[in-house]
């Protein structure tokens, strides 16, 4: 607990039960407070809790977002609510709800007046302030947009709010206009298509759409997006389903390759963040308590009085990260490349640009306590990235790699948590980001289906994230979309290694060649038809065997050259067999950061399988193994190191025929 907060004398409205928590004996539990149980009860019944919420208790309202959704009517008799106030150093911190308390909070504490919905005048006033500030003062936000750029087609929404719209082909209309800057400004929309059929541009209706598109024929989310764009002064709006010919593969391929430019050169991207489909619209009703700040005055026995800000540390998660729209793969680049974004979330408007993340509750920018891995995703500048990452990390980030690679690896992790309806879209849906990253990288790099040619060794060490309850399970590689060496070949959450000076690595492979063949000449960052890496390394025979220690099939023991190793295994796909014969390829050594810097304490290796139908020495990726030094039995690690250091070691049956220690990895 740091300096007392400069709060106003009037604290937030809270119920008697909440007030009692912050009076009398202080309930700050540490790991050794076993005698403190059972804990005092906050509310005895669900009815009591609901009554406190309805009466305007700000703290109970915060809890209600989580507690009430877990209880159905038949659970009411078994309900009680206990509040655990945890000491910051407690190892029980994981037990806490999503609410936290802080006396070092650096955001606003005075609740502003907010309207009953996200289309209220107060909400619009705030949007205008954000937009005006960004357009007038944000250098980064205005540096990437080409003011002369126009998409192939756009919706002409000029006119009054209820007027019908029409489709304009820019080469026939907009490029004939004068140099009036505002004529070239357009907005875009990001939305979920959903399962309900929506109106789309097709070859048969192009002429009709150029004459008129009835507002009544549009889904609610389109109607409200047009309302927003018109209110902000835009004459043109770009919507994918109405500006790309949906039944023309040729037009789709051409336009999908340009989508990065479309969003990069828009003035504003309107995001239907809380909508699962077009029927749900943009605007949401809300309670006056949704945007209230919660300030509590604590007067505990034996402790100097202090005021605390009670906040939901998952606010950004609930408003943005877990919202329906941001689970869609295409949306990540739409969100990042657009100079400015306006989210229509579940209970407030949220602003994102390259220099600010803000919401109605925190209009001047989200407080430092909210900054984490999932905030400020639009940061693409290396210097700004380092400043951001060191804001929320407890240990300063000192990358040994090009910062551009660190940014890309973060983007890959974020993107891998989304989904694409068509598996073939995996690379296309991030191609605009790849094109932007090329300008950021410090080296003249070749893009290789989700990987980059510089520092390629470490990029090969991606792994599938462990599957928490409810997450997507990695799938089989049923259809080709990228070589297996790339994370893009798999539909799964991916972790990319983030090297730091504290964990130095040494390379055990030499990459001789790496290439991919793009499907289209229009873009080298989109779909590919094949790709491979030619490399030299130490190849060893290995066996993966289901462990007897746990029932889970994902727990495997690794034997290399007949010796059991202490290895953590991550398979790329769900496998059901009890054992596998694989090839073990050491890729990098992990050195001791605290002791002898030359001592190898671990080996990061790829697990490979021969490619069926290909010559000897062609392999695909099966998974990854982190092999560690075992103090009780160091021989397996010592054996692996001896084999790698012996450049004469070569199992000819594992390599390309007649080429020692060399394989083709696809």
Secondary structure of 622-655 as H, E, C letters: EEEEEEECCCCCCHHHHHHHHHHHCCCCCCHHHC
Taking 60 as the threshold, does the pLDDT of residue 180 lie above it? no
What pLDDT, on the 0 to 100 scale, is given for residue 95?
A: 31
Q: What number is the average pLDDT over the span 628-654?
A: 83
Taking 90 as the threshold, does the pLDDT of residue 505 lie above it? no
CA–CA separation, 162 and 28 (whole Å): 58
The CA–CA distances, whole Å, from 360 to 123, 455, 521 equal 7, 42, 45
- Looking only at the bridges linking them, the beta strands covering 447-448 and 356-359 are unpaired
- Looking only at the bridges linking them, the beta strands covering 28-29 and 85-86 are parallel
CA–CA separation, 147 and 450 (whole Å): 29
Identify the CA nearest to 463 among candidates 600, 393, 618, 568: 568
Number of C-alpha atoms within 13 angstroms, CB side, residue 83? 22
Under DSSP, is residue 378 helix (H, G, I), strand (E, B) or coil?
A: coil
What pLDDT, on the 0 to 100 scale, is given for residue 272?
A: 98
| Least confident interval from 52-66, 186-200, 577-591 | 52-66
What pLDDT, on the 0 to 100 scale, is given for residue 74?
A: 46
- Best mean pLDDT range from 234-248, 373-387, 399-413, 460-474: 234-248
Conformational region of residue 585, where left means phi above 0, alpha means psi within -120 to 50, and beta covers everything else: beta
In contact, 367 and 361? CB cutoff 8 Å: no
DSSP state of 196: S
Looking at per-residue pLDDT, the higher value among 248 and 182 belongs to: 248
Q: pTM of the full predicted structure?
A: 0.87
Q: What number is the average pLDDT over the span 591-614?
A: 86
pLDDT band (50, 70, 90) for residue 401: low
pLDDT band (50, 70, 90) for residue 263: very high
CA–CA separation, 453 and 292 (whole Å): 50
Residue written as token pair 């609510």: 81
Largest Cα span, the chain: 82
């Amino acid at each position: 607990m740091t300096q007392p907060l400069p709060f106003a004398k009037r604290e937030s409205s809270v119920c008697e039960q909440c007030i009692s928590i912050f009076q009398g004996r202080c309930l700050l539990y540490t790991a050794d407070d076993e005698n403190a149980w059972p804990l005092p009860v906050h509310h005895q019944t669900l009815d009591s809790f609901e009554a406190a919420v309805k009466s305007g208790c700000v703290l109970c309202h915060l809890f209600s977002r989580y507690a009430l959704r877990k209880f159905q009517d038949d659970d009411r008799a078994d309900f009680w609510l206990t509040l655990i106030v945890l000491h910051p150093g407690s190892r029980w911190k994981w037990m806490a709800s999503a609410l936290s308390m802080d006396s070092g909070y650096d955001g606003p504490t005075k609740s502003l007046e907010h309207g009953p919905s996200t289309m209220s005048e107060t909400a619009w006033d705030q949007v205008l302030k954000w937009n005006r500030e960004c357009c007038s003062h944000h250098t980064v936000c205005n540096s990437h947009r080409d003011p002369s750029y126009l998409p192939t087609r756009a919706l002409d929404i000029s006119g009054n709010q209820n007027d019908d719209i029409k489709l304009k082909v820019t080469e026939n209309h907009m490029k004939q206009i004068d140099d009036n800057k505002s004529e070239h400004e357009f907005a875009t929309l990001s939305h979920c298509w959903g399962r309900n059929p929506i109106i789309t541009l097709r070859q048969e209706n192009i002429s009709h759409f150029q004459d008129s598109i009835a507002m009544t024929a549009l889904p609610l989310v389109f109607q409200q997006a047009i309302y927003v764009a018109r209110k902000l002064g835009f004459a043109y709006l770009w919507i994918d389903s109405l500006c790309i010919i949906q039944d023309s593969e040729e037009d789709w391929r051409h336009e999908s390759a340009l989508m990065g430019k479309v969003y990069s050169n828009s003035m504003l991207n309107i995001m239907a963040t809380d909508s699962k489909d077009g029927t749900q619209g943009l605007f949401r009703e809300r309670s006056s308590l949704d945007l209230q700040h919660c300030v509590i005055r604590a007067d505990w026995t034996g402790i100097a009085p202090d005021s605390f800000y009670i906040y939901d540390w998952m606010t950004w998660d609930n408003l943005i990260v877990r919202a329906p729209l941001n689970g869609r793969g295409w949306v990540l680049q739409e969100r990042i490349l657009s100079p400015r974004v306006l989210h229509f979330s579940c209970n407030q408007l949220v602003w994102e640009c390259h220099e600010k993340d803000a919401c109605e509750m925190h209009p001047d920018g989200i407080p430092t306590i909210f900054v984490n891995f999932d905030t400020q995703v639009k940061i693409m500048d290396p210097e700004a990235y380092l400043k951001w990452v060191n804001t929320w990390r407890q240990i300063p980030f000192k990358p040994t790699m090009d910062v551009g690679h660190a940014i890309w690896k973060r983007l890959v992790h974020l993107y891998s948590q989304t989904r694409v309806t068509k598996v073939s879209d995996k690379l296309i849906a991030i191609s605009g980001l790849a094109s932007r990253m090329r300008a950021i990288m410090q080296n003249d790099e070749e893009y290789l289906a989700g990987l980059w040619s510089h520092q390629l060794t470490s990029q090969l060490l991606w792994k599938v994230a462990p599957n928490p309850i409810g997450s997507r399970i990695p799938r089989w590689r049923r259809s080709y979309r990228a070589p297996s060496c790339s994370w893009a070949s798999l539909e799964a959450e991916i972790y990319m290694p983030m090297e730091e000076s504290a964990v130095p690595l040494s390379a055990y492979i030499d990459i001789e060649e790496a290439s991919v063949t793009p499907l289209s000449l229009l873009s080298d960052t989109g779909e590919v038809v094949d790709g491979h890496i030619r490399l030299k390394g130490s190849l060893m025979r290995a066996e993966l065997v289901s462990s007897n220690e746990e029932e889970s099939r994902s727990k495997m023991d690794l034997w290399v050259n007949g010796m059991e190793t202490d290895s953590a295994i991550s398979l790329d796909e769900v496998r059901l067999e009890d054992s596998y014969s694989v090839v073990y390829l050491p890729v990098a050594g992990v050195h001791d950061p605290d002791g002898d810097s030359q001592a190898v304490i671990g080996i990061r290796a790829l697990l490979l399988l021969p490619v069926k139908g290909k010559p000897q020495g062609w392999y695909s990726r099966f998974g990854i193994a982190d092999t560690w030094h075992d103090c009780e039995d160091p021989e397996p690690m010592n054996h692996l190191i001896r084999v790698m250091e012996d450049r004469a070691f070569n199992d000819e049956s594992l390599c390309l025929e007649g080429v020692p220690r060399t394989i083709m990895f696809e």
